[in-house]
Amino acid sequence: MNNIPKIKVGIVAVSRDCFPAPLAVNRRKALVEAYEKKYGKDDIYECPVTIVESEIDMVNALEDIKKNECNALCVYLGNFGPEISETLLAKHFDGPKMFCAAAEESESTLGITGRGDAYCGMLNASYNLALRNTKAWIPSYPVGDAEDCADMIHEFLPIARVSVGLSNLKIISFGPRPANFLACNAPIKQLYNLGVEIEEESELDLFESYQKHEGDKRIPDVVADMTKELGDNKMLPKLAQYELTLLDWVEEHKGYRKYVALTTKCWPAFQDMFRFVPCYVNSRLTGRGIPVSCEVDIYGTLSEYIGICITGEPVTLLDINNSVPKDMYEKSIKGKFDYKHSDTFMGFHCGNTCSSKIHGAHLDYQKIMANTHPAEWCEGTIEGDINPGDITFYRLQSTADSVLRAYAAEGEVLPVATQSFGGIGVFAIKEMGRFYRYELIGKNFPHHGAVMFGHYGKSLYDALKYIGVDPKEIEYNHPEGVRYEGENPWD
């Protein structure tokens, strides 16, 4: 993935001057050693400056981690810690930051030279962060031994990737949004609040650029790569031409931003003018870390990009599409999997899911669009059933009145043949029926949901909070017996 940040965490140990400084230094060294043993050296940098109650030491540490190209910070309380200097360090560091603290090692080291009181120091650190209006990620239990704190830093990486990624992201959209798809239309004000740039372009400009790529000398190489992925097809030269159009547009329009996501109006005029559908190309770019959402769904591609930053792998965007027929449930799910019928649904889109996440992947035509267009104008989807396994279904959305709202639900794709078309899977999420009614419908979410392939709810929740989503606006599938707001207690 070359369209997401590479995080390098500067680890700075802090020490209050009434505690022996070697205590924090030795604990920092043990933390770094534990991290490198478990996760390697690439993600961290050990800052050699030990902070005492000195603003000068804080400045020296800040300069050191900047010089060593750290784009994230871990403030490590090796002992109680100097609340002023440690929080000034966080305040002046331009990037995501976290705090964690050292636990006491042994009952034999609780004397004046061995006890650190960092458990107490975390309270003062959090209080002073609030006084300075400085945001930092604090783990759910932020005090631990070297191995525990190493795990905390590793847990911080996806949160940091989301933060750094969004602050350097440009979303390029080609619109306007299709008629009858107002659900994909949302205020862009919250994009700016998140640090994201948006560039809205015309579909006509994209078509003009596509025409100018006719005969591009790079097309045969792209066709060869596509053939290697899915086999030969007469549509590949057109699709290769379109892929190069998008990639060149990204390079020419990213401006000062490092990362780009795209969203396009993929129907109905697209088929009339381009004479194919863009789904397969969208899937290929998403597989490289450049999400391309359908139907000019700006917050859909934003959600996809967040998922790519968290997982480092391809994600997809699907319609929360259709119910599982009762006869399919009775035959293939009931008694084999621990799900009620209302826990299941089908997630579908025309063909934008990366081939690595689909079995039986093949090129085909978009069958829904073929109801209103010649079938040969609708070729270019990638079809097949989505691979079974764990998933996280989620979305970040701005409401009509510009409030950031999100949901996340962990579940799985079942190993059940869909008997259908497009890129599609049989999804199962505990208590999905109630979640669908009282969260997705009740909170006015659109029909598109992003999918990470694995269980990532914890990282996603922390990342959303870190970038500024109010925790009260992050919902999840409530277990049985835990009611939603507005849910009828007698239902």
In tens, the pLDDT along 35-67 reads 999 999 999 999 998 777 688 999 999 999 999
Q: Indicate if the pLDDT at residue 92 is higher than 90.
A: yes
Residue 1's pLDDT is what?
A: 67
Strands 316-322 and 292-293: unpaired
**Residue that the structure tokens 């060869």 belong to:** 224
Residue 200's pLDDT is what?
A: 93
What crossing angle do the helices spanning 457-466 and 146-167 adopt, rounded to 10°? 60
- The band of 252, judged by pLDDT with boundaries at 50, 70 and 90, is very high
| Cα→Cα distances 55→61, 97, 237, Å | 10, 18, 62
What's the average model confidence in pLDDT over 136-150? 98
- List the structure tokens of 428: 């199962």
Compute the mean pLDDT over every residue in the chain, rounded to the nearest whole number: 94
Residue 392's pLDDT is what?
A: 98
Residue 105's pLDDT is what?
A: 86
Q: What is the pTM (predicted TM-score) of this model?
A: 0.96
- Residue ranges and CATH numbers for the domains of the chain are 9-166 (3.40.50.10940), 168-476 (3.20.14)
What's the average model confidence in pLDDT over 389-400? 96
Q: Which residues of 91-107 are buried (b: 16+ CB within 10 A; e: fewer)?
A: bebebbbbbbbbeebee
Residue 183's pLDDT is what?
A: 66
DSSP string, 398-440: E-TTS-EEEEEEEEEE-S----S-SEEEEEE-TTHHHHIIIII
* pLDDT single digits (tens) 267-288: 888 999 999 999 999 999 999 9
